Amino acid sequence: MTDLKPTILAIDDSRTMRSMLNAALTSAGFNVILGEDGIDGLEQLDQTEPDAVITDINMPRLDGFGVIEGVRNHERHATTPVLVLTTESADDLKLRAKLAGATGWIVKPFDQTKLVGALRKLIA
């Protein structure tokens, strides 16, 4: 069976946020894989084929910047889009994420329409 739904890897250390992302993305027709922190997220990345990655910045073990770097240095997923999703809105943090190779930015609390819109822009 082929599954034509795009797959999103969503990484956030907050269970609430993971549930929200899962609900919002699933209802918008995405497959969702969840990662509990940076390390877990990169492990998931290695085992799956996500079409895009959404990551929180502030996480234990490995933060969002680490995730971006991990994606960019991954042999299969180096060009996978990475959306940063966080409450941080400070410009220097955005710039840092951008420099690390983030594709885009969404500020929490997110709006489902915006999030889905942003994702549609990034994946086929």
Partner 1 sequence: MDPMEEIRETFFIECEELLETLEAGLIAMSDGTSDGETVNAVFRAVHSIKGGAGAFALDALVEFAHKFENVLDLVRSDKLDADQSVMDVPLRSGDVLSDLVSTAQAGEDGLTDDSRELLKELIALSTGGAPAPSPEPTPDVAAAQDDEDEATFEPLPIGGGASDDDEPTYVAEPIAMDFLEPEAPGKRSFALEIKPHAELFAHGSELTLLLRALAELGEIKTRALLDGIPTIDDLSLEQHFFTIEANLETEQDQPAIEDIFDFVDTECDLKISIVQPVTEAVDSPETEELASKEALSPTPAEDEKQEPAAPEAKEKKPSSEPDRSTKAANTQQASASRATVRVDVNRVDRLVNLVGELVVTQAGLSESVEKSSEDAEVTAANAMEEFKQLTRELQECVMSLRTQPLKPLFQRMQRISREASAAAEKSVRLQVNGDSTEVDRTVIERLSDPLTHMIRNAIDHGIEPSDKRVEQGKSEVGTVSLNAAHRSGRVVIEVSDDGGGINRAKVRSKAVEKGLITEDANLSNGEIDQLLFAPGFSTASAVTNLSGRGVGMDVVKKSIQALGGRISISSDPGRGTSFSISLPLTLAVLDGMIVQVDQHTVVIPLTAIVETHKPATDQIVAIGGKEAVLSIRGNLVPVVDVGEHFGYRERVDQITDHVTLLIESEDGGRAALIVDDIVDQRQVVIKGLDDNYGDVIGIAAATILGDGSTALILDTDELVEGTKTAALSLGQVA
Residues of this chain that bind partner 1 (CB under 8 A): 13-17, 19-20, 23-24, 27-29, 52, 58-60, 71-72, 78-82, 87-91, 94-95, 98, 101-118, 120-124
Q: Residues near 109 by Cβ (< 8 Å), separated by ≥ 6?
A: none
User: SS3 for 79?
Assistant: coil
- Nearest to partner 1 of 39, 98 (CB atom): 98
- Nearest approach in angstroms of CB 17 to partner 1 is 6
- Nearest to partner 1 of 1, 90 (CB atom): 90
- On whether the CB atoms of residues 70 and 102 are closer than 8 A, the answer is no
- Nearest approach in angstroms of CB 70 to partner 1 is 13
- Nearest to partner 1 of 46, 114 (CB atom): 114
H-type alpha helices, the chain: 15-27, 38-47, 64-72, 91-100, 112-122
Name the strands in the sheet holding 52-55, side by side, starting at the edge strand that comes first in the sequence. Answer: 31-35, 7-11, 52-55, 82-86, 104-107
Q: Say how far apart CA 45 and CA 59 lie, in whole Å.
A: 17
- Nearest approach in angstroms of CB 48 to partner 1 is 16
- Nearest to partner 1 of 1, 100 (CB atom): 100
- Nearest approach in angstroms of CB 80 to partner 1 is 6
